[in-house]
Structure 1
Amino acid sequence: MRLKMIRDNTSFDFFSRWKVWLGISAAMVVVGMLSFAIQGLNYGIDFRGGTTIRTESTQAVDTGVYRDAMGPLGLGDFLITEVFDPSFAADQNVAMVRIQAQEGQEAVTPETILAVEAALAEVIPDIKFLSTESVGPKVSGELIKTAALAVVLAIGAVLIYIWLRFEWQFALGAVAALVHDVILTIGVFSELQIKFDLAIIAALLTIVGYSLNDTVVVFDRVRENLRKYKKKPLSEVLNVSINETLSRTLMTSVTTLLALIALYVLGGDVIRGFVFAMIWGVIVGTYSSVFVASTILLWLGVKRNWDKQDPNVGNQYANIDA
């Protein structure tokens, strides 16, 4: 028996309360921006600076043992990751210990590094400390600028792609949805003060791609139906298109969420922030593809016949009150 989340031939009206959906989105965007302006983000080691200690031992790396040893030192934020390399011997276990710089300090002090090494040596007698490297606030500041530039360039590339693929109204609708998703994701990290590091930037770029994929699927069907139903008002064409792609949209989102929830529960602390960002991004990305991008398209209006060049086309078909 085939699983169906949505019955065939649905006829939900997504635009009867379009002002409500835009109002909810606008309110969440404002809250996210205010939270970012007032509280800021809880930057991790990547953006705040810190020290990385590379260790090696014959004992298998157990991050729990490392954390228990370093916990009483009051180091603030620290991260332990195991390093894998095919060239390593069977008894060569390498780990990277990353310690956040303390408030008001350029880097972790030598005394703190010695205390960390002593604490680890007590629980892992044969441990060796291969190298110690520090990242200052200047490098971290450059990382923040580069990360922000990466997100802006990704959204700009999407604007150009959708403009060439469809029409400028589609492009603005898609970009509005992407900006909505990025702001809400940054806002929830600011509001909950979850650690924000380079992994979250990777999640933001992934969310942009996921949301864009959903939006393009809907817009592709909208363009087909605009040619098919030349007499229908734009709001009805959008409703038909979203209903026709609704099953695909929800099935994709739910199956993605199942995998992400499993990773969030079982994946450990190292990837939990990234997975949380992805879960939130999938939810708001699905929402924005249906309610934000399409509503912006309805508001702007679109050309109904791509076979004829008409300089007067515009929003005369966007009967929002329909």
Structure 2
Amino acid sequence: MLYNAKYDLMKHRRKFFGISIAITVIGIVMMLIFGLNLGVDFKAGTTLDISTGGKAIQQSQAVELVRSAGLETATPPVVGGAAGDRVTLRFDKVLTTQEIDQIEASFKTAFGDQISKEENTVDTELAKELALKAIYAVLIASLGIMLYVSIRFEWRFAVGAIAALLHDAFMVIAIFSIFQLEVNLPFVAAVLTVIGYSINDTIVIFDRIRENMRFAKVKTFDDLSQIVNRSIWQTMTRSINTVLTVLIAAVLLFVMGSESIRLFSLAMIIGLISGMYSSIIIASPIWLVLKSKTLGANKKAAA
């Protein structure tokens, strides 16, 4: 069984810390260079959803129709719908009524009067408000988790859990920055979902560590390290199965899903892999390092 594995994860904790720190530094540098490709949800702009009434439309055709109205989309048009008769157009500025009418006239010329449209406009103030609320949502979720773990376990577990959560969220953000993938509200939903799955894995490992600590006589750092290592391997099968179940669904959505949920699925894939890694390689070793400092204090107290 996996918990009988002899590979000592805690023995190599410094190497794993070094890898994580290196990835984090690279991600920070990339974010400073490239920034984030904010979608219309987080910056002023207009989104138009146009239905052609059952007639299929190609992406290149949609581009030409928009250009014929004297405009350019901020991102390539996204074609969807059961019959491929729906296209989403995103602009990085707030369109005037005249510009929207020009686009509608272009589509009517190509597809007839049966077309319909839905308009979604985000002004500058609303975009700033949405961006701030997205940041607040992540921070509030993190603080709530820290409070729960502190009460349910102890503050050392909470420090390890939050470090792992921030690592997971940052990995997703950094990769989206490097490849300039669009950051929108579904992206925020994906990050919050990833945080939930990550803390779930972390709590399972922490709970096993606590159970093993009840029946152990810990005198040295090696004793503590063995408990953490054994706890990780005892829960490894469960962690792998849980992540694989959700990961398969996320991959299928990414491959077979529509364009509107593809980036959400990609963020989930990155976060799930990072979440399992951080629960094992970041959260648990951090608790080990913090807890080991109490061993010396206990000895002094006993003396």
Query: What is the TM-score when the length of structure 2 is the normalising length?
Result: 0.85
- Deviation by residue 1:49-81 (Cα, 9 ceiling, x = unmatched): 222446566527x5xx16343222331226658
Contact 1:52/1:96 (8 A) holds in 2: no
Partner in structure 1 of residue 73 of structure 2: 75
Question: What SS is found at the alignment partner of 1:316?
Answer: helix
From 135, 140, 153, the equivalent of 1:148 is 135
Partner in structure 2 of residue 274 of structure 1: 264
- Equivalences for residues 87-236 of structure 1 within 5 A: 97-102=88-93, 107-110=94-97, 112-129=99-116, 132-231=119-218, 233-236=223-226
Please tell me whether residue 41 in structure 1 is matched to residue 41 in structure 2.
no
| CA distance in 2: counterparts of 1:259 and 1:317, whole angstroms | 48
Question: Which contiguous aligned blocks of 4+ residues in structure 1 show a shift greater than 3 angstroms?
Answer: 52-58, 66-69, 78-84, 94-98, 109-112, 128-133, 315-318
- Equivalences for residues 58-69 of structure 1 within 5 A: 58-59=53-54, 65=57, 67-69=59-61
Contact 2:45/2:91 (8 A) holds in 1: yes
- Deviation by residue 1:252-288 (Cα, 9 ceiling, x = unmatched): 1222221111111100211111111000001110000
The letter of the residue matching 1:75 is T
Give the stretch that moved more between structures: 242-251 or 229-238: 229-238
Change (3 A) 1:15 1:132: closer
Partner in structure 1 of residue 280 of structure 2: 290
Deviation of the 1:111 alpha carbon: 5.0
Partner in structure 1 of residue 296 of structure 2: 316
Partner in structure 2 of residue 308 of structure 1: none
Aligned residues: 288
The letter of the residue matching 2:92 is A
Question: What SS is found at the alignment partner of 1:16?
Answer: helix
| CA distance in 1: counterparts of 2:2 and 2:176, whole angstroms | 36
Change (3 A) 1:164 1:7: closer
Change (3 A) 1:42 1:9: same
- Deviation by residue 1:120-170 (Cα, 9 ceiling, x = unmatched): 224432434466452212211111111011001100101000000000000
Give the stretch that moved more between structures: 10-19 or 239-248: 10-19
Give the stretch that moved more between structures: 126-135 or 177-186: 126-135
| CA distance in 1: counterparts of 2:87 and 2:16, whole angstroms | 46
Change (3 A) 1:207 1:316: farther
Give the stretch that moved more between structures: 151-160 or 180-189: 180-189
| CA distance in 1: counterparts of 2:208 and 2:297, whole angstroms | 18
Change (3 A) 1:270 1:133: closer
Query: What is the TM-score when the length of structure 1 is the normalising length?
Result: 0.81
Contact 2:51/2:87 (8 A) holds in 1: no
Contact 1:53/1:129 (8 A) holds in 2: no
Deviation of the 1:110 alpha carbon: 4.3
From 248, 252, 257, the equivalent of 2:242 is 252
Question: What SS is found at the alignment partner of 2:46?
Answer: strand
The letter of the residue matching 2:75 is D
Contact 2:52/2:116 (8 A) holds in 1: no
Partner in structure 2 of residue 88 of structure 1: none
The letter of the residue matching 2:175 is V
| CA distance in 2: counterparts of 1:315 and 1:70, whole angstroms | 67
The letter of the residue matching 1:45 is V
Q: Percent identity?
A: 35
Question: What SS is found at the alignment partner of 1:75?
Answer: coil
The letter of the residue matching 1:275 is S
Question: What SS is found at the alignment partner of 2:294?
Answer: coil
Partner in structure 2 of residue 87 of structure 1: none
- Deviation by residue 1:24-46 (Cα, 9 ceiling, x = unmatched): 11111112222222221001111
Change (3 A) 1:178 1:109: same
| CA distance in 2: counterparts of 1:27 and 1:113, whole angstroms | 47
Contact 1:151/1:205 (8 A) holds in 2: yes
Q: Which has the higher helix share?
A: 2
The letter of the residue matching 1:276 is L
Structure 1 spans left out of the alignment, 5+ residues: 1-5, 85-93, 303-312
Partner in structure 2 of residue 90 of structure 1: none
| CA distance in 1: counterparts of 2:22 and 2:145, whole angstroms | 25
Question: What SS is found at the alignment partner of 1:12?
Answer: coil
